Amino acid sequence: MTRAPRLVLGAVVGSMLAAGALAVWLTYGPGKASSTPPATTAVEVVWGRPAVDADGLAQRSGVRITRVAVTGGGGLLDLRFQVLDPNLANSVHDAATPPAVVDERTGLVVRDLLMNHAHTGKYTAGETYYLVFENPGNWVRRGSSVTVLLGGAQVEHVTVR
């Protein structure tokens, strides 16, 4: 079941934009070391992706989600995925479709990888890999329902352990 591409949690996009503007102002606003944000990349990031089920994710991105869990005293979010098709799995780290987790209750997009970690080298079919995201303020909690964005698709309503 594949739906047309749409913005993640479109109902809260306005809130997310306002929160994002506030975050930029707090980070780069008056009295900060730099008054302008860093240069953006030349690649346009696609946050809204076709919503699929687990089988659809395997077909589009070559991976299966095995776990999303809060760890590190609540400050980290651990996403585990098994590689089914190594060639398609390379899309997990495509600059245009970076991995992310969206808390469905608040619309918060968790996208910053711990220490900017990214997989290098070839993926191996059957192996499980991980992405560890920073979860400042423990915004995403155990029991939360999240949307996971991997490669060219998103899987909604994943329960966080």
Question: Band of the pLDDT at 22, cuts 50, 70, 90?
Answer: very low
Per residue in 123-154, pLDDT (tens digit) is 999 999 999 999 988 999 999 999 999 988 99
Per residue in 29-42, pLDDT (tens digit) is 444 444 444 444 45
Q: Do residues 129 and 67 touch, judged by C-beta distance below 8 A?
A: no
Question: Band of the pLDDT at 19, cuts 50, 70, 90?
Answer: very low
Tokens 């994943």 belong to 158
Q: Do residues 49 and 148 touch, judged by C-beta distance below 8 A?
A: no
Q: Do residues 85 and 130 touch, judged by C-beta distance below 8 A?
A: no
Q: What percent of the chain has pLDDT over 70?
A: 72
CA dist list (Å): 25 to 21, 101, 121, 125, 139: 6, 23, 37, 44, 20
